Structure 1
């Protein structure tokens, strides 16, 4: 198996002959900021673990393995622990929760050191015909959080300047590009609009954005045609940036949706990735092998395409997403007007029940028993964690679609878990060496400030579940390979230089954990439960978690694509 190259060392990082195959020479008797002693080092390349030390100075790794007489102003005893690069969360929605609590604790307890935003919508650029209120497409704005910045970089720098626990980077939301020239109109862009959207993208990429993230089942992303997406990808190709997409369909038309992404990559020359690769709906489960064959064939033909996964059968998004896209035209207020109108509500009810030419989360979940409301809304007596079926029965509703619509009318931004997936298919996908990991969630704490915050267990358990269950317990891949999928693989795909490896010159994002104890504890019934087994987490060389306890340090940085 080929692995990603290690990052280039800084000129002063190695000046002597290594003592052994894992060691890097440094000046004798050097005093550095921090030394991690006697750990089992897993360097992120997929290579076997080896015993040794890690020397860190000025936020960078300066020596790995047998470090000789180097001593640290501070030292961490890593005996009995795996020492590896910190994990990269390829699909994070923590842009609001990090403004509320910058520690990002649900991810910190799992060893995540970098958060990646931008699925469909990003908090910048918000300009032109796009308005701040359009950011509400990603959910209700929490108290104290800001939703919009003129440029994407402004948002990331704001997080860094005010203090943020993890590193942050982002794709430009494809919705932002479209809405900057056409608002939320449900139509193709004309040539002039598309040219202006591409010019905006070019500016954002020059300022370090990772690429473009699309979400093609949600309005207004669903209005973008292949021509529009290919135009964005052509701009991406010029910058060696990534096109990453929540596919247009993950169910009945999954194969066609995969083909669209492959066509975009082929026709543009851009690299591409599929967000949270899965099959939606019981009848579509056999399609995963065909999807994987298509991707392998494309890769063999020279198309650079990858994917990421989260290790749960239930997806999560707005409960309103069960309502077909045509009824979302005009935004959330217009949808509520339709739900309040008896004739429109009857039409919506029939569309949800009968399905149509869209991805029906309701039908793919098996209806009311397969949809769990994650948000607590006391006004309509909806306890979090209840299925629509249970709520309908408690309310005496003959038709559970009525229940669903009543909840959306009262709480348009209510979140839900949809049991559309198949974890065996996720395991099948993860066996492929081009698949990385993202939580598709935000990063709250398990405390009172998030008491009413809707949570899927993947927020607290994704990375522990992959390494603890998929690698350690089920041996789908080795622990070393699972760590590569969560470190150097995404860092390389995202062009985050000097990240994702334990190597001289790399930024010191480091996770130190007891592999035998590393376990996800979050469930659908009790989702706000931290993972166990993580002992220390260093971010840019600074301990953010020490001896299993958050330090309160906020050493995260705003990252740019291909920046040293």
Structure 2
């Protein structure tokens, strides 16, 4: 017996006919500048690689589709066969303003060769107070990577009350709040603090809360170099509690800069720090952190081991105190203790200074040459100028405990003399993805792109997604590697084949092609009021 299927199942068959019609309809047409095809595409959201075509129209990603789903006609097609295609990396903590404002290093090639297409500046409390003026200066100069900016607490405080070693008055806090508010209106990501550094170290918690509350109004970020990462003043865990309380009171997101347990006194405290952060997250405080994959930190010699009280006011006042015989006993005792906390004079390596004869030597070696105890040698050396050091002060166990946490993203904190400026992202990849397998490839990519963008409220990049800025990197998963080390800190990394910044190819076959395609990444203006 024949059954009339159309009468028996009219809705079902009609649906099949409609769906069949959809499947046989012509794919959407896209006219693009570039088509990237045949690559292992990681869109950046911590999922596995996919077989996708990616089209770029001017500065924007205009199509992401499976091969054949869309008709994409491109001026140029890039065959990424055997290569990874991912979002450009975002570095949430750099010190690249000097380079970006220069006439010869503004391409930021040492970051492009790591795959970094956006750098954040103004960290550690040292950010500008006039965001709009600096943004215009950067874009007029031409920059090789995108840049976003924090307004810096230390800079704001210095503008209002200098380097005075005291709490701010009510009127001074009001002045500082006005500066921060204008900075947020001009597109700052948020407020950065460096409560370990002068003059931020002189500020009360209440002062920082007052300024961070302004940031919270604009859904901004409170980025902090903790008041203490060791036992220099209130202690690592107490400093972390202070930061959490600031964010909670100000109702804003907390981002802990270059999270670490610095020095022998706090080795092993990563476990307690992680528990503290995750307990606060469960209680409703929004928290993230960044980390560079090195066991040595980097800073200036005076910042590392000089007591904060001796650096108050002016440089002349600082030097006068260093040379005051009445203070010598107190100074040498405190400096010796600070050297001990960092692992001893042998752990402090001079990495950058105008007198190149000092570079590559430890404080222990220089003390012998000067025929002085390390603490007296340090007092003499800091008066010669800003000497940069690498301080070998972290344990591998602590570093690894932090690096696997889902709320920790990749950063460099790049400074002259330290290989982190040239090699942090490939160092993390080679050591913790390829060798130790602490992280998967998809997680490394997400920690270096979309998660960073999400934590910092950067909404127009960080993913390979239609409508977002075309910051895309094509790289060799077997060849992507660091070349810089502590002996040769400024060697470019390898393995990046092609780098797009805002839809322009700036790195091709691993070589910079002299295009300055970077832009100022301005935070969208949001105000709860």
- TM-score, length-scaled by structure 1: 0.85
Paired with 1:178 and 1:59, the residues of 2 have a C-alpha distance of 38
Equivalence for 1:94: 96
| Structure 2 residue matching 1:240: 3-state secondary structure | coil
Deviations 1:345-364 (A, max 9, x none): 454222212x4xxxx3x222
State whether structure 2 residue 288 is matched by structure 1 residue 287.
Answer: no
* 3-state secondary structure, aligned to 2:406: coil
Unaligned runs of 5+ in 1: 1-16, 126-150, 443-453
| CA drift at 1:296 | 0.7
Match of 1:142 in 2: none
1:528 Cα shift?
1.4
Q: Residue 109 of structure 2: which of 105, 111, 130 is its match?
A: 105
Partner of 2:62: 62
Superimposed CA distance per residue, residues 162-212 of structure 1 (whole angstroms, 9 cap, x where no aligned partner):
210000111100112212221111111111111121122111111111000
Q: CA separation in 2, counterparts of 1:562 and 1:424?
A: 39
State the distance in 2 between where 1:122 and 1:392 align: 31
In the other structure, the counterpart of 1:307 is: 289
1:326 to 306, 309, 318: 309
CA-CA distance at 1:382 after TM superposition: 3.4
2-structure distance, mates of 1:165, 1:216: 31
Q: What is residue 221 of structure 1 aligned with on the other side? A: 200
Q: Matched residues in 1 for 2:144 and 2:78: separation?
A: 20
Task: Quote the Cα distance in structure 1 between the aligned partners of 2:146 and 2:410.
Answer: 16
In structure 1, what is the Cα distance between the partners aligned to 2:378 and 2:357?
11
Structure 1 match to 2:221: 242
**Separation in 2, partners of 1:530, 1:250:** 30
Q: 1:60 offset after TM fit, Å?
A: 0.7
Corresponding residue for 1:451?
none
Q: Is it true that 1:515 corresponds to 2:477 in the alignment? A: yes
From 389, 399, 410, the equivalent of 2:384 is 410
Q: Is the 8 A contact 2:482 2:494 kept in 1?
A: yes
Q: Is the 8 A contact 2:101 2:137 kept in 1?
A: no
**Superposition deviation, residue 504 in structure 1:** 0.7
2:182 corresponds to 1:203: yes
Of 330, 336, 339, the match for 2:322: 339
Q: Scaled by the length of structure 2, what TM-score is found? A: 0.90
After TM superposition, give the deviation of residue 398 of structure 1 in Å.
Answer: 3.7
CA RMSD of aligned residues (A): 1.9
The 8 Å contact of residues 88 and 114 in structure 1, kept in 2 or not, is answered as: yes
Give the match's secondary structure for 2:52: strand
Shift of 1:99: 1.9
Q: Secondary structure at the match of 2:246?
A: helix
2:357 to 373, 376, 382: 382
Cα displacement (A) at 1:301: 1.1
Shift of 1:269: 1.1
Aligned equivalents of 1:496, 1:338: Cα separation in 2: 45
In the alignment, what sits opposite 1:550? 512
Which secondary structure state, in structure 2, belongs to the residue aligned with residue 515 of structure 1? coil
The runs of 5 or more residues in structure 2 that have no matched partner are 1-18
> Which residue is 1:425 aligned to?
398
Aligned twin of 1:27: 28
Q: How many residues get paired?
A: 495
* 1:108-128 CA distance string (max 9 Å, x none): 100000010112344532xxx
- Summarize deviations over 1:412-450 as a string: whole Å, max 9, x none: x111111122233122111111111211115xxxxxxxx
Deviation, 1:73, is 1.1
Question: What is aligned with 1:44?
Answer: 44
> Alignment partner of 2:38: what SS?
strand
Preserved CA contact (<8 Å) 2:84 2:474: yes
- Matching of residues 422-461 of structure 1 within 5 Å: 422-442=395-415, 454-461=416-423
Return closer, same or farther for 1:342/1:97 CA change in 2, 3 Å cut-off.
farther
Q: Which residue of 2 aligns with 1:270?
A: 252
Aligned match of 1:483 in 422, 445, 465?
Answer: 445
Q: Is the 8 A contact 2:154 2:199 kept in 1?
A: yes
Deviation of 1:392 (Å) = 2.2
Residue 539 (structure 1) aligned with residue 516 (structure 2)? no
Q: Does 1:399 align with 2:398?
A: no
1:297 matched residue in structure 2:
279
Question: Structure 1: how far apart are the matches of 2:444 and 2:296?
Answer: 22
1:371 lines up with 2:348 in the alignment: yes
Comparing 326-335 with 272-281, which one deviates more in the overlay?
326-335
Q: 8 Å contact 2:121–2:150 — kept in the other structure?
A: yes
Residue in 2 that maps onto 1:473: 435
How far the C-alpha of 1:237 sits from its partner, in A, is 1.4
Mapped pair 1:352 → 2:335: yes
Bigger Rg, structure 1 or 2: 2
**Cα displacement string for residues 376-419 of structure 1 (whole angstroms, at most 9, x for unaligned residues):** 443xx7331211112222x15141222222221112x1111111
8 Å contact 2:114–2:423 — kept in the other structure?
A: yes
1:188·1:224 contact (CA, 8 Å) conserved in 2? yes
CA distance, structure 2, for counterparts of residue 521 and residue 108 of structure 1: 14
Q: Specify the alignment match of 1:233 in structure 2.
A: 212
Change (3 A) 1:160 1:563: farther
- Residue of structure 1 equivalent to 2:87: 85
Asked whether the 8 Å contact 1:340–1:409 carries over to 2, the reply is: no
Question: 1:165 aligns to what SS in structure 2?
Answer: coil
